Amino acid sequence: MNESKEIHVGVFVCHCGVNIGGVVDVPEVVEYAKTLPNVKYAEGSLYTCSSEGLSKIKEAIKKYQLNRVVVASCTPRTHEPLFRSACEEAGLNKYLFHMANIREHCSWVHPKEPKKATEKAKEMVRMAVAKASLLEPQAEPEIDVLPSALVIGGGVAGMTAALSLANQKFTVHLVEKESELGGKLRELYKLYPSDHYASEILEEFLQAVRSNANIIVYTSSTVKHSEGFIGNFKVTINHEGKEETLDVGTIIVATGADVLKPQGMYCYGQSKNIVTQLELEQLMKEKKLERPKNVVMIQCVGAREGKEGGRNYCSRICCTVAVKNALQIKELFPETEVSIVYRDMQTYGKDFEEQYNKAREGFTQFIRYDVENPPEVFIRPNGKLIVRVHDILIDGTLELDSDLVVLSTPLIQREDAKELSKILKVPLGSDGFFFEAHVKLRPVDFATDGIFVCGTAHSPKTIAESVAQAYAAASRAGIPMTLGRVRTEAITAFINEDSCTGCGTCINLCPYNAIQKDERGVAKVNDVLCKGCGVCAASCPEKAINMRHFSDAQVLAEATAALGET
């Protein structure tokens, strides 16, 4: 390709069905593009992202000897990789491609002003062409990926992920904070839907982990520090009081969740007969549950609060847990009366709904309350409990005598998650749980390459759902480790060594610790660590730092074009 010779820009304007074409006059934008400097070819297409649209780009690159390509369509977030690879397939460095988002930034926000939207689309194309003309080819350095993983958390999710990776023949370092593996499984009694004892399932897991030579278990251990990047993380752990450093290619976060202790709610803490579901499980497990005459379970304790700043999420599993435990109590003590006081019964899916129906048929009483009118718990002087609830189904207030009140509290993020989030530089969402790269399409990836999440650290879920996610994390982490190499970011900072005075401003500001001074006192960028955020370039007092793909000249050209000059 004649990258160094005369600039030949090709412009492809997408209708995106009616998404753009219904507002913006695409043929007019195409005609306008043809008049712009350096543009050798322009065309419109119904869907530029279709296989047909992509072939057209490739054909045009060859036919018109294009050495820069501009697509005016939707968001680069979803479509840039596609167009870039089309360019690559036609022999063009993919960094010679540029995109103008005339859908999200134009047609979608100006649906009622087609004329002005068309003008705006032209301006955006003008900007893109101006920048594209100055683009330069970039290289993505390849780095090796160590075939070993760190799994943080030794509960069901962590053990499953570790086993899957170990079976894929990778070395797995499984780090658990407690002195034994197992997580919440250690505290549970019986599990639904298989009706197995949690202890049996736990034993199977422990057997499998112990007998797998590829898994190295570190109990009583926590992650203290992490540096590096996909393929080459250096993680310091505190293992039984001693610091150790692990070199791993990928990291999986499977730290689990805690159960909310409902301090100050429903008299919790004021009577030993007011317990959480988890505490009930432990009583049953340890065979310490004395036969109660009446049990009342209250759902949504501290969940779905429906108020500003409250804990507004649904914890997903509590209704099923309550139904399961109601059935367990009935099995242990058939005479005991169990009532579940709930708002919406969240027994989703096939098995849980069946369980719910079974409980209804088995004389568990279900009483529905409204969020505005929550139940109240009273302790009588003789220690007996009363639950007063307004039943919306009969529109009347009931007073339920109870020897045992069980509070269904949500799963919440663990206290130490904030620290881990800082150490690994991965985010938490507004609900406190780890926040994945894309809620819909990338449920177990973090935005940071090489780090993954699974289990209840991600959001409340069942054991089966945690297992599925753990396998998913093992699949995602297994990809770069199987390939053994990954390509890294090309859009990085570079230093003009002649201008650098070694003041160190950039070193202090870099959020990725990617800059250090070399032996001459000149700043040096580690290309693999650099994420191309541009903080250093913007703050360098000597203007000695430049960004690849976002040079001053390129950005200025784009801005100048925006102001109408070409």
Partner 1 sequence: MSNAVLVIGGGIAGIQASLDLANRGTKVYLVEELPSIGGRMAQLDKTFPTMDCSICILAPKMIECFRHPNISLLTYSEVTEVKRDAGNFTVKILKKPRYVDVEKCTGCGTCMEKCPAKVPNEFDIGLGSRKAIYMPFKQAVPLIATIDPEHCLYFTKNVCRVCQKLCPSNAVNFEQKPEEIVVNVSSIILATGFDLFNPSIMSEYGYSRYKNTLLSMELERLISASGPTGGHLVRPSDGKEPKRIVFVQCVGSRSQRGELPYCSSVCCVYATKESILIKEHLPDIEVYILYLDLRAIGKGFQEFVDRAKKEYGVKYIKAHPGGITEDPITKNLQIYYEDIPTGEMKKFTADMVVLCPALIPKQDNKKIAQVMDLELDEYGFFKSKNELTAPVDTNVPGIYICGYCQGPKDIPESIAQASGAAARAAERIMCVTREAGS
Residues numbered 330 to 369 that lie near partner 1 (CB under 8 A) are 344-354, 357, 368
| Of the candidate residues 143, 267, 468, 503, the single one contacting partner 1 (CB under 8 A) | 468
Residue 48 makes contact with partner 1 by CB under 8 A: no
Nearer to partner 1, 119 or 465 (CB): 465
Spatial neighbors of 406 by CB under 8 A, at least 6 apart, are 275, 276, 277, 280, 295, 296, 297, 298, 322, 325
Residues in 158-187 at the binding interface with partner 1, rule: CB under 8 A: 164, 167-169
Whether the CB-CB separation of 411 and 317 falls below 8 Å is answered with yes
Strand intervals (E) in 125-209: 142-144, 148-152, 171-175
Residue (17 or 504) nearer to partner 1, CB: 17
- The answer to whether 529 and 499 have CB atoms below 8 angstroms apart is no
482 near partner 1 (CB under 8 A): yes
3-state secondary structure at position 341 = strand
CA distances (Å), 62 to each of 7, 472, 530, in order?
Answer: 14, 41, 34
Cα–Cα distance between 223 and 136 in angstroms, integer?
41
Question: Which one, 128 or 467, has the nearer CB to partner 1?
Answer: 467
User: Which stretch of DSSP H or E encloses residue 76?
Assistant: helix 76-89
One residue of 143, 267, 464, 491 binding partner 1 per CB under 8 A: 464
Cα(169)–Cα(163) distance, rounded to whole angstroms?
A: 10
The pair of structure tokens assigned to 397 is 């207030």
Minimal distance in Å, beta carbon 319 to partner 1?
9
Q: Which stretch binds partner 1 (CB under 8 A): 134-142, 471-479, 526-534, 545-553?
A: 471-479
- DSSP string spanning 371-436? TTB--EEEE-TTS-EEEEEEETTTTEEEEEEESEEEE---EE--TTHHHHHHHHT--B-TTSSB--
* Minimum CB distance to partner 1 smaller for 11 or for 474: 474
Per CB under 8 A, 483 contacts partner 1: yes
Q: Which of 154, 182, 231, 443 binds partner 1 (CB under 8 A)?
A: 443
- Please identify which residue in 109, 139, 332, 394 interacts with partner 1, judged by CB under 8 A: 394
Q: What percent helix, strand, coil does the chain show, rounded to 5? A: 35, 25, 45
Name the residue nearer to partner 1 (CB basis): 74 or 275.
Answer: 74
CA torsion sign for 464, 320, 307, 404 is negative
**Which SS3 state, helix, strand or coil, does residue 476 take?**
helix
| Dist. CA 325–CA 373, nearest whole Å | 25
Regarding 50 and contact with partner 1 (CB under 8 A), the answer is yes
Q: According to CB under 8 A, which one of 109, 392, 447, 562 is a site residue for partner 1?
A: 392
Nearer to partner 1, 229 or 369 (CB): 369
> Minimal distance in Å, beta carbon 313 to partner 1?
5
Selected from 8, 110, 131, 304, the binder of partner 1 by CB under 8 A is: 304
Query: Of 229 and 313, which has the nearer Cβ to partner 1?
Result: 313
Contact between 316 and partner 1 per CB under 8 A: yes
Q: Give residues 59-98 in contact with partner 1 (rule: CB under 8 A).
A: 74-75, 78-79, 81-82, 85
Does 243 bind partner 1 (CB under 8 A)? Our answer is no
Token pair recorded at residue 200: 């049996």
* Least distance in angstroms from the C-beta of 49 to partner 1: 6
Residue choice 61, 99, 326, 444 for contact with partner 1 (CB under 8 A): 444
Nearer to partner 1, 88 or 227 (CB): 88
325 belongs to the binding site for partner 1 (CB under 8 A): no
Residues 95-134 that bind partner 1 (CB under 8 A): none
In the block, residue with structure tokens 């390129």 = 554
CA dihedral of 210, 211, 213, 214, whole degrees rounded to 10: -70
Phi, psi of 145 (to 5 degrees): -115, 125
CB of 17 to partner 1, least distance (A): 5
Output the smallest distance, CB 343 to partner 1, in A.
8
* Cβ neighbours for 59, distance < 8 A, ≥ 6 positions apart: none
Q: How far is the CB of 317 from partner 1 (least distance, A)?
A: 9
Q: Does residue 373 belong to the site contacting partner 1 (CB under 8 A)? A: no
User: In this chain, which of 370, 416, 518, 552 binds partner 1, going by CB under 8 A?
Assistant: 370
Kindly determine how many residues on this chain lie close enough to bind partner 1 according to the rule CB under 8 A.
83
Q: Is 428 in the site for partner 1 (CB under 8 A)?
A: no
Find, among 192, 457, 194, the residue nearest to 321 by Cα. 192
Q: Pick the closer one to partner 1 by CB: 48 or 226.
A: 48
Q: How far is the first Cα of the chain from the last one, in angstroms, to the nearest whole number?
A: 26
Strand partners, 428: 434
Q: Which is nearer to partner 1, 52 or 142 (CB)?
A: 52
CB 409 within 8 A of CB 260: yes
Q: Which of 440, 519, 520, 564 binds partner 1 (CB under 8 A)?
A: 440
- 150 or 500: CB nearest partner 1: 150
